[in-house]
């Protein structure tokens, strides 16, 4: 994968773990949201500013494959890229790895662009331009 | 304690547990909110209706003593009563027990009555009347 | 869908909601776990007993499509059925609905049967027999 | 407060917020655990190493006063110090502030030192020495 793929670090806490010392399956989605927030900030479009301007990206779908357990105190790397961006759709590909280690989970979160009335709307042109460098094809990330 | 103290049952799930097979310390607060919601519903003042009428009860303080671990699949009993109710204040006493077993946690959540603008306001008179049967002194609940 | 599909009720609490008054996308996975626990209990194979006997069902994949927001105090119905059960695999289909209302989410959680050492193993024969009545084809549930 | 008090930064995510755009009251306890983990790491006694050596610090009590709402995307500062450390007891004082802003919450989490069998035991001598610089009296932190 290109060195320029967005990466976010996350330290696993007890709050995220469950019996058997592994991260509870739903908590990876919390981590992904944390990473998306930093992705938009780094791209120059902080979600808070977008939200205050009347734009949000509700999730309409998630696919995630778990390939290994993350454990307490693991330092995880969350890689994010845009798998699709057009019209009202914005899809993130992701991969979660133990730092310098194997992949623990990968998949996609699918979003639409919506107003605060929850109605879909086209992605703002400026945003599409700003996020274009983060688009990756499936081949580029494997 | 009087038989009439409010009780709510809660089944512990994996999502609430952490390493070492016990409920994570913050999750008891989620359970208490669940129990308060049912308390208000049973008292005839569902929180959703209050909220739609412009009244909420933000938490301004919590004291909780943990006296034993709740574990996966435990069926817990959450007992709630009003420890104080006057002016803008509404304080809940609580006790969490394993069904027919020892107390696992007890304490108090302290709330104020507030409008949707987050400004404190007096408890509605009707509510104070409606909730009066749930007031207990410390002696009555020990 | 057959009347005999497993159903579990869940009341949405504030802890599950986020800005904009809707359930946070990861919390549906917590609800699904709660429902699976009750599914196994009703089927006569409580997860706690299985776990104490050395068998667990770690999640290896989730696909979920969100088709509408669940909101505070909604009483949700979670429908579960077995989409696949053979060898080491146990896949649940699910649908989450507002009681007597439209579907809000549907998808699949994919599990394997594993020992407490996290190594995959064949589903116990007795369990496969016991859960067989809950198998549904895609046509049967749409 | 002395400049040397331990500080940890935390960015508020949607997962932690609830209706009305504020952090859900239980999530502050998750943040405090995250901060404690970094506190022990910085002090040279990472919790994971302690845990692997058979020592943990289960929470036996929490007192928290909420003085203002944290909101989505707030960058919070969590200050931690030791309010008591002797015998089997280890109590943290804390304060949560919006960066360069007013205090949003303060209080105490009370812990005991325990073995992995959940039995209390004396704090290791080396640890008491190592953490001594983080002891503060109430006056020193107000």
Task: From residue D136, give the alpha-carbon distance in Å to each of B2, D53, D88, D92, D93.
Answer: 43, 27, 18, 10, 9
DSSP three-state, residue D16: helix
pLDDT for the residue numbered B1? 43
- Nearest CA-CA distance, residue A29 and chain D, Å: 9
Return the residue of B nearest to D66 by Cα: B60
**Hey, of A25, A31, A92, A108, which one would you mutate to test binding to chain C, going by the most C CBs within 10 A of its CB?**
A25
pLDDT for the residue numbered A14? 98
Mean pLDDT of C26-44: 98
Chain C positions touching D17 (Cβ under 8 A) are 18-19
Against a cut of 0.80, is the pTM above it? yes
User: D139 pLDDT band (50/70/90 cuts)?
Assistant: confident
Return the residue of B nearest to D106 by Cα: B61
Say if the ipTM goes beyond 0.90: yes
Angle at B10 between CA B5 and CA B12, to 5 degrees: 145
CA gap A94, A41 in Å, rounded: 17
Q: Kindly tell me if the per-residue pLDDT of D20 is higher than 70.
A: yes
pLDDT for the residue numbered D116? 86
Q: Kindly tell me if the per-residue pLDDT of B28 is higher than 90.
A: yes
- What residue ranges define each of the domains in chain C, with the CATH number in brackets? 11-134 (3.10.129.10)
Residues of chain A scoring pLDDT < 50: 1-2
Mean pLDDT of B54-82: 97
Mean pLDDT of D39-54: 96
pLDDT for the residue numbered C121? 97
Q: Kindly tell me if the per-residue pLDDT of B11 is higher than 50.
A: yes
Give, rounded to a whole angstrom, the gap between the first and last alpha carbons of chain D: 7
User: D80 pLDDT band (50/70/90 cuts)?
Assistant: very high
Task: From residue A98, give the alpha-carbon distance in Å to each of A9, A48, A103, B18, C86.
Answer: 10, 29, 7, 20, 31
> Which has the higher per-residue pLDDT, C65 or C20?
C65
Are D26 and C14 in contact (CB < 8 Å)? no
List subunits contacting chain C, requiring 3 or more Cβ pairs under 8 Å.
Answer: A, B, D
Are B25 and D62 in contact (CB < 8 Å)? yes
CA gap B4, B12 in Å, rounded: 24
**What is the tens place of the pLDDT at every residue in C87-119?**
999 999 999 999 778 899 999 999 999 998 889
DSSP three-state, residue C135: strand
pLDDT for the residue numbered A141? 79
pLDDT for the residue numbered A142? 67
Are A60 and C65 in contact (CB < 8 Å)? yes
Mean pLDDT of D29-38: 98
Return the residue of B nearest to C37 by Cα: B13
CA gap B30, C13 in Å, rounded: 8
Chain C positions touching B48 (Cβ under 8 A) are 72-73
- Nearest CA-CA distance, residue A52 and chain C, Å: 12
Instruction: List residues in chain B touching C: CB distance below 8 A.
Output: 11, 13-15, 30, 33-34, 37-38, 46-48, 51, 72-73
Give the CA count within 13 Å in the CB-facing half-sphere of C74. 23
Nearest C-alpha neighbor of C135 from the set C43, C46, C11: C43
User: B100 pLDDT band (50/70/90 cuts)?
Assistant: confident
Are D69 and B20 in contact (CB < 8 Å)? no
Are C66 and A56 in contact (CB < 8 Å)? no
Backbone angles phi, psi at D12, to 5 degrees: -75, 130
pLDDT for the residue numbered C32? 98
Across the B:D interface, residue pairs with CB atoms under 8 Å apart total: 56
């Amino acid at each position: 994968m290109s060195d320029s793929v967005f990466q976010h670090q996350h330290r696993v806490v007890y709050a995220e773990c469950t019996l058997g010392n592994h991260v509870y399956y739903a908590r990876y989605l919390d981590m992904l949201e944390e990473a998306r927030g930093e992705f938009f900030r780094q791209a120059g479009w902080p979600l808070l500013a977008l939200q205050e301007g009347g734009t949000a990206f509700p999730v309409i779908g998630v696919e995630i494959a778990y390939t290994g357990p993350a454990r307490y105190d693991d330092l995880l790397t969350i890689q994010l890229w845009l798998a699709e961006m057009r019209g009202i759709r914005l899809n993130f590909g992701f991969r979660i790895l133990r730092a310098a280690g194997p992949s623990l989970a990968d998949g996609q979160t699918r979003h639409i662009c919506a107003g605060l009335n929850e109605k879909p709307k086209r992605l703002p042109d400026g945003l599409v331009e700003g996020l274009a460098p983060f688009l990756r094809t499936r081949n580029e990330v494997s």
